[in-house]
Amino acid sequence: MSKVAIIHCDDYEYDKVRSAVNRGLELLGGVRQFARPGERILIKPNLLAADPPERCVTTHPAVFEAVAGAFLQHGVQLSYGDSPGFGGLNKAAQKSGLAMIAAKMGIETGNFEVGERLIFNEGIQNKSFVIAQAAARAQGIISLPKLKSHALTTLTGAIKNQFGCIPGLLKGEYHAKLTEMKQFATMLVDLTGCLKPRLYVMDAIMAMEGNGPRNGKPRKIGALLFSSDPVAIDATAARMVGLLPDSLEMIRIGQQYGLGRMDKEALTLLGDALAPLVITDFQLAHARTMARLTNNRVRNAIVERPEIQEEKCIRCGICIQVCPAAPKAIQWTDEDEDGKPGGGKPPYYDYDRCIRCYCCQELCPEGAVILRTPFLGQAFNRLKPPVI
């Protein structure tokens, strides 16, 4: 049986969060179950981008502080970090409020620039990974995912959180090479199996719905989840937002290959009740059609595609920089007389090259990239069994 502790917590007032964290940890047997005094443990929050806590893009600093505090009290040596989708760790840590807390508590910033290859012979598909040094050399990892909608994987939670242990632009290579959803989800399962975080504490006090994982809307759920089983905690989070766990490829594959358990019969829920937290109108990012169809014509007719809302675009070019397709599927129109890219126009897409990884949608700082389902895709979605 896998255990998931659910602790209701209304907001990020620190005393409430600390008491929720302490209660959740105690229900799983206490901090001593996850680390010994003197061990070097990495805390891996979600630091997708340099955004303030109220935007709900990143793990909230109060959750980080409460979890870190519990482990420090136990005599554990902590470091922390993540490899943001764009821009460096320091900037994201500053803006999200984590850097200040870490400095106050004497927690070191881990090295997420340099990678080291880890061999993982047990991998179903990926037998090795280049992992950020901080994660590769830590004796253990505590993963602090944020619950958000995600254009590619539907939700981002515990299994997806380890993708940030792959340094910098290497992440784009995985998007470019693993062009089918099943392959990408299998890679996430292998990566999580390779890194084996000892504990997951999911920040679902304020989740994100809609155009996630960066530009959606905050949505209150009011809970923290705790588990050492990434499949169980993601399955519980999926149920909380009204989704069938096996409709998410990474959860289904995770159970299939033994990463954890998603079936209700295999889970012991501890702490507070799940039922009052369940919401049935949680908005997804809409990209749920067969995202990785390889035939261009069929794909363009059916699969959600990214589009730029011109009035929101500030012409920063981040979408072009992060596009992993080769050649790039998004580019400036031309050079204007001042040598500025795009001649004042937003970038444009070449949908035949676009692999629908949605990195441009994920990392646009202005929320200017939305996903639109072509007419045939809408008809196709109506034929599919409901996810919610």
Compute the least distance from the CB of residue 153 to ligand SF4, in Å. 14
- Each residue 40-59 as x (binds ligand SF4 by CB under 6 A) or -, in order, gives --------------------
Q: Which is nearer to ligand SF4, 218 or 367 (CB)?
A: 367
Q: Tell me if 306 contacts ligand SF4 by CB under 6 A.
A: yes
Compute the least distance from the CB of residue 352 to ligand SF4, in Å. 10
Q: Which of 235, 250, 369, 370 binds ligand SF4 (CB under 6 A)?
A: 369
Q: Tell me if 293 contacts ligand SF4 by CB under 6 A.
A: no
Q: What span, in angstroms and rounded, lies between the C-alpha atoms of 70 and 20?
A: 12
Give the DSSP letter string of 319-370.
HHHH--SSS-SEE-S-B-TTS-BGGGSPPEE-TTT-----HHHHH-TTS-EE
Q: Which is nearer to ligand SF4, 48 or 194 (CB)?
A: 48
Would you say 330 and 353 are in contact if contact means Cβ atoms under 8 Å apart?
Answer: no
Q: Which long-range contacts (CB under 8 A, 24 or more apart) does 91-95 make?
A: 91/50, 92/47, 92/48, 92/49, 92/50, 92/51, 92/58, 93/47, 94/50, 95/50, 95/51, 95/52
Would you say 234 and 248 are in contact if contact means Cβ atoms under 8 Å apart?
Answer: yes
Q: What span, in angstroms and rounded, lies between the C-alpha atoms of 47 and 27?
A: 27
Q: Which is nearer to ligand SF4, 240 or 308 (CB)?
A: 308
Compute the least distance from the CB of residue 182 to ligand SF4, in Å. 18
Q: What span, in angstroms and rounded, lies between the C-alpha atoms of 159 and 176?
A: 20
Would you say 249 and 35 are in contact if contact means Cβ atoms under 8 Å apart?
Answer: no
Compute the least distance from the CB of residue 319 to ligand SF4, in Å. 3
Report 324-363 residues binding ligand SF4 (CB under 6 A). 325, 329-330, 346-347, 349, 354-360
Compute the least distance from the CB of residue 150 to ligand SF4, in Å. 13
Compute the least distance from the CB of residue 131 to ligand SF4, in Å. 23
Q: Which is nearer to ligand SF4, 262 or 329 (CB)?
A: 329
The binding site for ligand SF4 (CB under 6 A) comprises 306, 308, 313-319, 323, 325, 329-330, 346-347, 349, 354-360, 364, 366, 368-369
